[in-house]
Structure 1
């Protein structure tokens, strides 16, 4: 019996969001192979070739062998960083990791005919907040006044003019305390007197605070939009208060829906997790889009709908999913 073309899931082992999609694909009888680039070269073997017919060969994991030219779709989630074998000195390890990144990474990003959700290079391009802000405004989404600067005086002027203002990190880097505990930089309100010489040490993002009554997480899978109203957060950043939150599926206004779909087109994304603030007048204020955002923490009746939409994309990439 001939196996149908597989879906390749590029992620680490403990990824709850990928797990629910893999379970759904398996329930549908779709072959799935999971690969984590950090397992190369210890438990991942690559035999790739390029000739007049293009890229071919195979990739072997501890449990699967996948023909590179038969992959129907790639679900690019959250793989660990490329690594090197143990026992090498720092320079050799860095060299081997770079060869893996540009070798294996280049192969995984060039699978012939595969549909990507999302392509890793498009994910990377869509992670830059200034590009996000510019694209959202271009697409007609309501973007709060925002300042990007390393000038403390300019920051103070902006806070005085547009206050109340919040500070947001431009990228969620790994950050730990001296004991090795992971730390998170939350969205916080700032006053002019809070800004000091530290502003001059790197780029900062300041944004007018939205007078919101709720938050909205809108998950876009192709043309299918799943908007969830989030209530119950006692503070600015709802991610700090998961135990207090309630979730309600709501309709998406036509103007927001068009802006979201146009935004996906700008970056060439098949998936995006958009965050909005919802005010008392019913206006949606755009905050950001995570091109690889989580969704499996929603209640089951919401998670299952998003999971099915992603599985549809991966299972039938050539079909119109509108």
Structure 2
């Protein structure tokens, strides 16, 4: 168990985050002090006072509990919401206050020299899918052939050179993957960047959740046509099976994590009928609670153990 002076874990997320609830419960079981708050509580419900001395010293205070900023062993950065500002502010005033809050509150918190799962700057970098794909390709994780374009002619030319169906998926907000007909690419493609990829035959897919040096790989088997295109489209049809990670994939995923400075990552792979693992994407702040519920893999416990230790795995 943890010594009383081992420092607190700061959990920064929204109040309805059941995934964070599970980690907080595991930390409580281990006797680790936890201060949970949401960026949305600042500045109306959460007080920040930070003085630059040897680093930032001071506290976060929500009226019920107080966090000593100089005694934080780790931060679990999940899914905080936007700042809640007082009603009646002008739009210009609201924008200014939000910018000040972001720079002040998140700036102080982001400077804490401790273990992060994950640091928001690392999350932001790793969220860029084109960047993910380039690094994955360079490491030999073999992502699908891809084009990112707002030129419909370039999209059609790309598709003509691939003897396979073409899919599109979102570069940002979560939207289901769909198979598209390149003959239908029109001027609407010009309105934003689009990602088009080759469709790959699959035996199944794998969700690989990485927590420090621990790997939790689970096969996802689709039970419907919709789920075979994108398993997120039909959760009820899915079946799951924990699986082993090939040694070469493990080494390359470790290198990927190191490149982006990640402590946690939720990776999606296709496994081809021949058994090859093909990288699709990583969500550095991806969901995992349902995987633990379906299979029993101890992700929450592993996150809690890493936060308790307060340092990256040796």
TM-score in terms of structure 1 length: 0.92
What secondary structure is seen at the aligned counterpart in 2 of 1:30?
A: coil
Q: 2:264 aligns with which of 247, 263, 271?
A: 271
Map of 1:198 onto structure 2: 188
Alignment of 1:63-78 (within 5 A): 63-78=64-79
Q: 2:215 aligns with which of 213, 217, 225?
A: 225
Alignment of 1:179-218 (within 5 A): 185-218=175-208
CA apart distance, 1:169? 0.8
Alignment of 1:1-322 (within 5 A): 3-51=5-53, 53-111=54-112, 113-162=113-162, 163-172=164-173, 185-234=175-224, 235=226, 236-300=229-293, 302=295, 305-318=298-311, 320=313
> Number of paired residues?
308
Distance 1:285 1:319 in 2: 27
Q: 1:92 to 1:106 in 2, by over 3 A?
A: same
Show structure 1 runs of 5+ residues with no match: 173-183
Runs of 4+ in 1 over 6 A off after TM superposition: none
Asked if the contact 1:5/1:72 (under 8 Å) is kept, the reply is: yes
Distance 1:212 1:31 in 2: 45
What secondary structure is seen at the aligned counterpart in 2 of 1:261?
A: helix
Asked if the contact 2:210/2:266 (under 8 Å) is kept, the reply is: yes
CA apart distance, 1:201? 1.1
Distance 2:297 2:254 in 1: 22
CA apart distance, 1:75? 0.3
What secondary structure is seen at the aligned counterpart in 2 of 1:258?
A: helix
CA apart distance, 1:232? 2.4
Show structure 2 runs of 5+ residues with no match: none
Distance 2:99 2:312 in 1: 37
Instruction: Kindly report the root-mean-square deviation, in angstroms, between the aligned alpha carbons of the 2 structures.
Output: 1.5
